[in-house]
Structure 1
Amino acid sequence: MTTASAAPPATRHAPRRRETAGATKKGMRSPYPTWFYIPAAILFLVFFAVPTFASFYFSLTRWTLFSQEFIGLDNFVMFFQQPQLVQGFTNTFIYGFVTSAAKVVLGLALALLLTGPILGRGYLRAVVFFPVLVSTIGVGLLWKALLDPFHGMVNGVLGAFGLPQPGWYTDPNMALLTVAGVDIWKGVGIATLIFMAGIVAIPQEYFEAARADGAGAWSVFRNITLPLVRPATATVIILSLIGGLRSFDLIWAITKGGPGFTSDVIASVIYKQYQAGFFGLSTAGNVILFIVVTAIMVPVSYFLNRREAEL
């Protein structure tokens, strides 16, 4: 009796804790939470899984709205035999990597500036983020007017100072990079916002300790800021690279893939094939775009997330 009454509190309450844990596990096995997954699963199947598998099938056919003929891999062979299609394939990589790299560099630079003690910081933040709020088609039409080789304001200002007036989107050598520059101008606000959130989340004690040790601005950036904003960097790289590889609306608004096919990307090539009635070929282009984006983003995402986990 004495021994039982003198048992420690932890021993007396242990069965009750085990009962609670058992009840929790039993509650997790309840069918009630399962119903929450069913609507999302149905939407996923209807709007993603089924169209994806259907696209893979129709890419192997010559089809119209009323008929289809299985032709195997002929659409893919034809896709890579057409010079303009291969040009669009190459331009997709150039466009995607140029825009994503520029957004990372400029976004980080602007974030460092806009988190520092500068005059009008709130106003400058709004100015940097404003292009993100504007419609992509609206941005494309605006810059198409501003960069018009003959009547655009940009060339008008350059001409007033006696500088060359290039054909920004009419020169085959400049068209793709011109659209990429507009894309960077529009999208750098998101990158800046993500980097600002990452910088603000860094504990100030790190910076104070570095200053107390006499570290300079470059040393603080290289040893504190840059490593600790790596999660934000990974997010910006993934989002901007996916957006760049899938870009269509801005290119179509400014150049429609021209002049010729010099600024075409896979997405605009696909749209042109749909317009021309080559539905099977355009579906094959969709599949190629899906495979390309997946093949690039899966290892990039794995590498970035692994580096983040090592921190």
Structure 2
Amino acid sequence: MTKQHAGPRTGPGVVPGKRHARARADGRPRSAYPYALYLPAAVVYLVIFLVPTVMAFYFALTRWTLFDSTFVGLQNFRDFLAEQNLRIGFQNTLVYAVVTSGLKVVLGLLLGVLLTSKLRLRGFLRSVVFFPVLVSTVAVGITFSVLLKPDTGLVNQALGLVGIDGRDWLGDATTALLSVALVDVWKGVGIATVIYIAGILSIPQDYYQAVAVDGGNAWHRFRHVTLPLSWPATYSVIILSFIGGLRTFDLIWTMTRGGPGFTSDTIASIIYKQYQAGFYGLSTAGNVLLFLVVTAIVVPLNYFLGKRQAAL
């Protein structure tokens, strides 16, 4: 029986006698687009991110105003690290980031499961959940500052109707930071929910049908299909929420100004207070340190979560 040799491949996109169009001479895949098309994005990234970052590192080493600057080396960093409220601010920043990111993951997942079910009003409810994301953070902060007032706020009035004595949520050192964190979760959970909805809808229905064939109920579908296969969405929500929590400023400043006293200060609010006082070089050094802190925390976290995602 003679051995037949396959002839050259023919068909759309295949040129006989030549290598595939996307293969380079060294065997590596060729870029899908000419490099010139990447140039506008590279210019924007250079102007918007790289140049200001390099300038910030330089001005952190100076005492500067709008008109002149004096090089002082690392003195700004020493002064900022010697700030008496920095320890409280760093602790509050970590607590705030952990609480807000954790609640957004849990609530976002639960709402994502609910709003991808066969619920009659799910389209309307998706709009309701996402609506706070569209509202200005400053407007949200001002609104909740009024709602949480100890005497006239609607929150304490509503609690009074069921026999619960309200408290000064933003004026009490034990509740101020947590109150702001819960408002942050209310405003930002819509983004987490949208990410989870996209992740859940991308799960093939075959897995759910297999669980149904095995006699599984709704809990089994959630535990063995939705929860593990929505991990890419969980990964994204954790990273985005944690970065946002570490950099938080606007809601804290609008609702508490870091008070009462310094009990709800975060690193960003301490930096802003230095800027208000006219210590521009000191506040720039604080921003550089905040950038380094966020990088030092998020990069290992990203590596750990990405490693876990690859193992699934």
TM-score of the pair, normalised by structure 1? 0.89
Letter in 1 for 2:99: V
Letter in 1 for 2:235: A
* Aligned positions of 1:7-156 closer than 5 A: 9-10=7-8, 16-19=15-18, 21=20, 25=24, 33-156=34-157
Letter in 2 for 1:261: F
Name the CA distance, whole Å, in 2 between partners of 1:21 and 1:144.
64
Per residue, is there more helix in 1 or in 2? 1
Letter in 2 for 1:287: V
3-state SS of the aligned residue for 2:240?
helix
3-state SS of the aligned residue for 1:171?
coil
Seen in structure 2, the aligned counterparts of structure 1 residues 277 and 214 have a Cα distance that, compared at 3 Å, is same
* Aligned twin of 2:248: 247
Q: Which moved more, 1:295-304 or 1:156-165?
A: 156-165
Q: Which moved more, 1:91-100 or 1:219-228?
A: 219-228
Is this contact kept in 2: 1:169–1:178, CA < 8 A? yes
Letter in 1 for 2:300: P
* Aligned twin of 1:182: 183
- For structure 2, list consecutive stretches of 5 or more residues without a partner in the other structure: none
List per-residue Cα deviations over 1:46-69 (Å, max 9, x = no partner).
221121111112212222223323
Letter in 1 for 2:96: Y
* Aligned positions of 1:191-270 closer than 5 A: 191-270=192-271
Shift of 1:167: 0.6
Letter in 1 for 2:230: V
Name the CA distance, whole Å, in 2 between partners of 1:224 and 1:153.
41
3-state SS of the aligned residue for 1:214?
coil
List per-residue Cα deviations over 1:280-307 (Å, max 9, x = no partner).
1101110111011111111122222222
* Aligned twin of 1:3: none
Is this contact kept in 2: 1:79–1:86, CA < 8 A? no
Letter in 1 for 2:81: F
Seen in structure 2, the aligned counterparts of structure 1 residues 60 and 218 have a Cα distance that, compared at 3 Å, is same
Is this contact kept in 2: 1:195–1:232, CA < 8 A? yes
Letter in 1 for 2:46: L
Q: Which moved more, 1:37-46 or 1:235-244?
A: 37-46
List per-residue Cα deviations over 1:58-100 (Å, max 9, x = no partner).
2122222233232222222222222223221221111111100
Seen in structure 2, the aligned counterparts of structure 1 residues 82 and 201 have a Cα distance that, compared at 3 Å, is same
* Aligned positions of 1:282-293 closer than 5 A: 282-293=283-294
Q: Which moved more, 1:32-41 or 1:173-182?
A: 32-41
**RMSD across aligned C-alpha pairs, in angstroms?**
2.5
3-state SS of the aligned residue for 2:63?
strand
Aligned residues: 303
3-state SS of the aligned residue for 1:69?
strand
TM-score of the pair, normalised by structure 2? 0.89
Name the CA distance, whole Å, in 2 between partners of 1:221 and 1:102.
18
Name the CA distance, whole Å, in 2 between partners of 1:215 and 1:233.
24
3-state SS of the aligned residue for 1:62?
strand
Name the CA distance, whole Å, in 2 between partners of 1:23 and 1:301.
32
Letter in 1 for 2:47: V
Seen in structure 2, the aligned counterparts of structure 1 residues 161 and 22 have a Cα distance that, compared at 3 Å, is closer
Name the CA distance, whole Å, in 2 between partners of 1:185 and 1:128.
9
* Aligned twin of 1:278: 279
Is this contact kept in 2: 1:251–1:257, CA < 8 A? yes
Q: Which moved more, 1:39-48 or 1:145-154?
A: 39-48
Is this contact kept in 1: 2:9–2:16, CA < 8 A? no
Seen in structure 2, the aligned counterparts of structure 1 residues 193 and 69 have a Cα distance that, compared at 3 Å, is same
Is this contact kept in 2: 1:179–1:251, CA < 8 A? yes
Name the CA distance, whole Å, in 1 between partners of 2:203 and 2:30.
40
- For structure 1, list consecutive stretches of 5 or more residues without a partner in the other structure: 1-5
